[in-house]
Each structure stands twice: as C-alpha cells, then as structure tokens.
Amino acid sequence: MKAVFLASVTALAISSSLAQAASEPAVVYDQAGKFDKSFNEGVYNGVKKYTAETGIQVREFEPKNEAQVEQGLRRLAKRGYSPIVTVGFNMTSAVEKVAKDFPEINFTIIDGVIDLPNVQSVVFKEHEGSFLVGALAAMASKTNTVSFVGGMDIPLIRKFACGYEQGVKYQSPNATVYQNMTGSTGAAFNDPTKGSELAKSQFSKGSDVVFAAAGGTGIGVYQAAKDEGKLAIGVDSNQNHVQPGTMLTSMVKRVDEAAFKTYADSAAGTWKPGLVVLGLAEDGVDWALDDNNANLITADMKAKMEDIRAKIISGDIKVHDYMSDNTCNY
C-alpha cells in the first residue's frame, strides 16, 4: 500500500514536470461553473467546438472560491498553458496579476478590460442585442407590458436593461417595462428561487414577456414563465432549448465564438492582444431563432426584426450604452 502510494506520488511529480513543456490551450470558468446554462456554458460550447474540430483538448478549470481563481491561473500559466481564456469581469484583477507575472503566456478575458501586452479583452455591445429582443418582446406581448429580471445590480446588467427598454419603447412607445434586480452580490447570478419570485410578481402585475439577464437565476425565471404560461427571453447562450415553447428567443452573446476564435487564432498565429468589441455588426450579439421557438415567431415579426437589426448596424437606430455615462437617458 505504501509502495503504491509512493509510486503514485513520484509519478505525479514526473507528470507535472512533463506538463511544463506543453503549450496547450486552457480555460478558467468563473465560480458559477461551466453548466450555468448561460454565460459560462457559452464559453464551454466554444471550447467543445474547438476540441471537436481540431481534436485538441482544452484544459478546463472551475475555481470554487476567490483564492483559487488566481491560484488556478498561476498554475496553468506556470505549466505553460497558452492561451488561457478567462470568463467574466470577476476575474479581472486576478488575470491582471498573473498576466503581469507571466508575460510569455497569452490571456483572453471575456467581459473584462485589461491593458497588458499579453491580454486580449473581449467585450460585447450587449445593449444592441438587448434592444433587438426588447423590440421582439414588445411585438409578442399581448398586454403591452413586459419585464426584465437582472442578476447582480451592476452597470453591465443595467446596460442589458437599458437596451431592452429602448427596444421595447421603439416598437411600442406606450408599453410598460417592469425591471427588477436580484441582488447586489455575485450570488444574484445564481439564485433561481429569487428569480422565480421576481418573475411571478412581474407576471401578476401584467407582464407577459420577461427577459432575464441573470445567469443561473434565469433558470428560475424561465421556470416561472413556463409554470404561468408566459414567455421568456434567454441570455448569453442560446437558451431556447431550456423551456421550448416558453422561450420567445435568446439574446445571444457569442462568447463561444470569442473563445473559439482565441484558440483558432492562437493556433494560426494570428491572436492579437488589445480590446475587441463585438456588436451586431460583428455577429458578437444577436437574437436566436431555431426549431425551439420557430412557432412563436411569425413571418411578420421576423421581417421586422431583420429591419431593426439592419438599422442598428447601419446606425439609423442609435442604441444608448448605459455604461457610457451610467444613465439610461436615450
């Protein structure tokens, strides 16, 4: 027994020193984990796609607390994994520290901005996508009342809310939009109970379409919509499959593309540091139409959506970015 044990320890030491030589891609999810059906899962889909197309395994790491984020990053960097995709603004400070210490390793941070020569920062024009689904919500609403459930009360989520509201009002200027935030900490992204409570209260006030930009909290929102026969709009990943028939659409944020592109570019040697902003024009955000929601979208709605989409890209419709001035005056 002791011998087995010692052998495995030795084997470990060897294997970890071997790992140093490799230069494989890696990803660090945030604490919600890769199966949050939303943001992280989007990245995970990109990772899956890359592995499926190239056969190259991507080293995945799911930290469980604050300290492990930096430790995990450091460990990956030390073993030479590159590029390392990191998910979410929560990781900004950890990535910043580790990227400074490992200038030869490439990092991509999604939803955060770091100004370092070895970091690519990918951010999205969520307001544009939110505007689109807002318009669709207004089209689908029979009560002329729609609502929004946000996760954590931060500027980023207000950006979703603001874009959504603009879209609704664009389509139907006298519509009512109810908004609720789930909380003021990270836990607000993972609280389906509260999500469902908020959605239920919005439904009883008359809302019949709800857009949740709330990570795992959204699961509760969609469940509530299904239970009460209302419509819901997903976020980040294409969530139309979560509750088919209930999901009107999803505001897709192509984090999967961002992750995939990082790996692909890196393999091709075209990966570049710096800020990458992805909007409707770049296919970075969009609304999702697939088999799951085809029945809910009439040809008329589809046509209108295409029209609005084109207008945003062309600049005919200006969507206000909440984060540009921390207000929602449009």
Partner 1 sequence: MFETLILMLDATMRVSTPLIFAALAGLFSERAGIVDIGLEGKILGSAFAAAAAASVFGSAWIGLCFGIVASICLAMIHGFACITHRGDHIVSGVAINTIVAGLTVTLSMYWFGMGGQTPALVGDARFLDITFPFADAIASVPVIGPIYSNLLSGHNILVYLAFAMVPVTYWVIYKTRFGLRLRAVGENPHAVDTAGISVAFIRYRALIICGILCGLAGAYLSTAHNAGFLKDMSAGKGYMALAALIFGKWRPVPVLLACLLFGFLDAVAVRMQGVEIPGIGQVPVQAIEVLPYVLTVLLLAGFIGKAIGPKAIGRPYVKERA
Partner 2 sequence: MSQAKVPAWVNVALIPLLNILLAFLVSGLVILAIGENPIEAAGYLIYGAFGYDEGIGYTLYYATNLIFTGLAVSVAFKGGLFNIGGEGQAYIGGLGVGLICLSLDHTMPLYVIAPLAVIGAAVFGAAWGYIPAYLQARRGSHIVITTIMFNFIASSLMVYLIVNWLKEDGRMAPNSRTFEENAWLPYLHELFSPLGINIGDSPLNLSFIWALLCCVFVWGLVWHTRWGYQLRTLGTNPTAARYAGIDTAKVTIWAMLISGGLAGFVGLNEIMGVNHNLLLNFTAGYGFAGIAVALMGRNNPIGIILAAILFGALYQGGAELAFELPTITPEIVVVIQGLVILFSGALEHMFKDRIEGFFIRRAVA
Q: Is 224 exposed, middle or buried (0-12, 13-18, 19+ CB in 10 A)?
A: buried
Per DSSP, the chain holds a count of helices (H) and strands (E) of 11, 12
Q: Which does 287 bind (CB under 5 to 8 A by kind): partner 2, partner 1, none?
A: none
**Candidates 132-140, 176-184, 288-296, 300-308 — which segment interacts with partner 1 by CB under 8 A?**
176-184
> Is 208 strand, coil or helix?
coil
Q: Single out the segment in contact with partner 1 by CB under 8 A; choices: 8-16, 106-114, 199-207, 253-261.
A: 199-207
Provide the pairing of β-strand 285-287 with 247-253: antiparallel
Q: Which listed option, partner 2, partner 1, none, makes contact with residue 154 (CB within 5 to 8 Å by class)?
A: partner 2
Strand partners, 147: 178, 210
74 binds partner 2 (CB under 8 A): yes
**Residues counted in the chain:** 330
**284 touches 98 (CB < 8 A):** no
Binding range to partner 2, per CB under 8 A, among 9-17, 37-45, 160-168, 268-276: 9-17
Residue 304 is a binding residue for partner 2 (CB under 8 A): no
Residue 72 interacting with partner 2 (CB under 8 A): yes
Q: What is the DSSP string of 125-146?
A: -HHHHHHHHHHHHHHH-SSSEE
Check binding of 293 to partner 1 (CB under 8 A).
no
- Which one of partner 2, partner 1, none interacts with residue 182, CB within 5 to 8 A by kind? partner 1
- Near partner 2 by CB under 8 A: residue from 48, 51, 80, 93: 93
Q: What CA–CA distance (Å, rounded) separates 161 from 157?
A: 6
Residue 119 DSSP one-character state: E
Q: How far apart are the first and last CA of the chain?
A: 70
Residues 6+ apart with CB under 8 A from 316: none
Q: Which of 43, 73, 156, 219 binds partner 1 (CB under 8 A)?
A: 219
Number of alpha carbons in the 13 Å side-chain half-sphere of residue 309:
20
Given candidates 56, 64, 310, 316, which one binds partner 2 under the rule CB under 8 A? 64
Q: Which does 1 bind (CB under 5 to 8 A by kind): partner 2, partner 1, none?
A: partner 2
Q: Give Cα 259 to chain centroid, integer Å.
A: 11
Considering the complex, state which of residue 144 and residue 201 has its C-beta at the smaller distance from partner 1: 201
Q: Is 8 in the site for partner 2 (CB under 8 A)?
A: yes
Residue 201 binds partner 1 (CB under 8 A)? yes
Nearer of residues 90 and 207 to partner 2, judged by Cβ: 90
Per partner kind, with CB cut-offs from 5 to 8 A, the member of partner 2, partner 1, none near residue 12 is partner 2
Report if residue 323 touches partner 2, rule: CB under 8 A.
Answer: yes
On whether the CB atoms of residues 41 and 256 are closer than 8 A, the answer is no
Q: How far is CA 226 from CA 182, 200, 207, 289, 319, in A?
A: 19, 11, 13, 19, 30
Q: What is the DSSP letter of 150?
A: E
HSE, CB side, 13 Å, CA atoms: give it for residue 233: 38
| Residue 321 found at the interface with partner 2 (CB under 8 A) | no
Smaller CB separation from partner 2, 9 or 310: 9
Structure tokens at 83: 């590029």
- Non-local (6+) Cβ contacts of 23 within 8 A are 80, 81, 82
| Residues 241-260 interacting with partner 1 (rule: CB under 8 A) | 242
89 binds, among partner 1, partner 2, none (CB under 5 to 8 A by kind): partner 2
Which parts of this chain interact with partner 1 (CB under 8 A)? 32-36, 62, 150, 153, 179-184, 188, 190-194, 196-198, 200-201, 204-205, 216, 219-220, 223, 227, 242
Which parts of this chain interact with partner 2 (CB under 8 A)? 1, 4-5, 8-9, 11-13, 16, 60-62, 64-68, 70-72, 74-75, 89-90, 92-93, 101, 112, 152-156, 184-186, 323, 326
